[in-house]
Structure 1
Amino acid sequence: MGDLSTTDRTRHRRLREQGRTGRQELFDVLGAGFVCHLGVIVDGAPMVVPTVYGFDSEHVYIHGSVASRSLTGEGRTVCVTVTHVDGLVLARSVFEHGVNYRSAVIYGVPRALEGEEKLEALRLLTEHTAPGQWEYARRPNRKELAATTILAISLEEASVKIRQGPPDDADDPHDVWAGVLPLSTTWQAPVTDPSAGHDVPDHVRRRAGTRIG
Structure 2
Amino acid sequence: MSPESETKTLPAYARARQPKRARYDEETIHGILDTGLVGHVGFVADGRPMVIPMAYARVGGTLYLHGASKTRIARLDGIPMCMTATQLTGIVAARSGFHHSVNYRSAVVHGTARHVDGEELDAALEAITDHLLPGRTAEIRPMTAQERKATGVVALDIDHASAKVRTGPPVDDEEDHALGLWAGVVPVTTALSTGVQDAYTPEGAAEPASIAAARRKFA
Q: Which residue among 190, 206, 209 is the counterpart of 2:195?
A: 190
Q: Could you tell me whether the CA contact under 8 Å between 2:24 and 2:161 is conserved in 1?
A: no
TM-score norm. by structure 1 comes to 0.91
Secondary structure of 1:78 counterpart: strand
Bigger Cα displacement from structure 2, 142-151 vs 195-204: 195-204
**1:142 Cα deviation (Å)?**
2.0
Partner Cα separation in structure 1 for residue 142 and residue 194 of structure 2: 25
Secondary structure of 2:43 counterpart: strand
**1:78 Cα deviation (Å)?**
1.2
Letter in 2 for 1:7: P
- Are residues 1:102 and 2:105 paired? yes
2:125 — aligned with what?
122
> In structure 2, do the counterparts of structure 1 residues 83 and 205 end up closer, same or farther at CA, with 3 Å as the change threshold?
closer
Secondary structure of 1:33 counterpart: coil
Secondary structure of 1:49 counterpart: strand
Secondary structure of 2:55 counterpart: strand
> In structure 2, do the counterparts of structure 1 residues 24 and 16 end up closer, same or farther at CA, with 3 Å as the change threshold?
same
Secondary structure of 2:174 counterpart: coil
Q: Which residue among 37, 45, 48 is the counterpart of 2:48?
A: 45
1:93 — aligned with what?
96
1:212 — aligned with what?
218
Q: Could you tell me whether the CA contact under 8 Å between 1:184 and 1:211 is conserved in 2?
A: no
Letter in 1 for 2:93: L
TM-score norm. by structure 2 comes to 0.89
**1:58 Cα deviation (Å)?**
0.9
Q: Which residue among 137, 142, 158 is the counterpart of 2:140?
A: 137
Letter in 1 for 2:123: E
> In structure 2, do the counterparts of structure 1 residues 109 and 86 end up closer, same or farther at CA, with 3 Å as the change threshold?
same
Partner Cα separation in structure 2 for residue 125 and residue 209 of structure 1: 16
Q: Could you tell me whether the CA contact under 8 Å between 1:189 and 1:208 is conserved in 2?
A: no
Partner Cα separation in structure 1 for residue 59 and residue 215 of structure 2: 26
Unaligned runs of 5+ in 1: none
- The count of aligned residue pairs is 212
**1:18 Cα deviation (Å)?**
0.4
- Are residues 1:177 and 2:158 paired? no
> In structure 2, do the counterparts of structure 1 residues 138 and 120 end up closer, same or farther at CA, with 3 Å as the change threshold?
same
Pairs within 5 Å for 1:76-87: 76-87=79-90
> How far does the alpha carbon of each residue in 1:49-95 deviate from its partner, in whole angstroms, 9 at most, with x for none?
11111012210110111111233331111111100100001111100
> What is the percent sequence identity of the aligned residues?
33
**1:99 Cα deviation (Å)?**
0.5
2:30 — aligned with what?
27
Which one has a larger percent helix, Structure 1 or Structure 2? 2
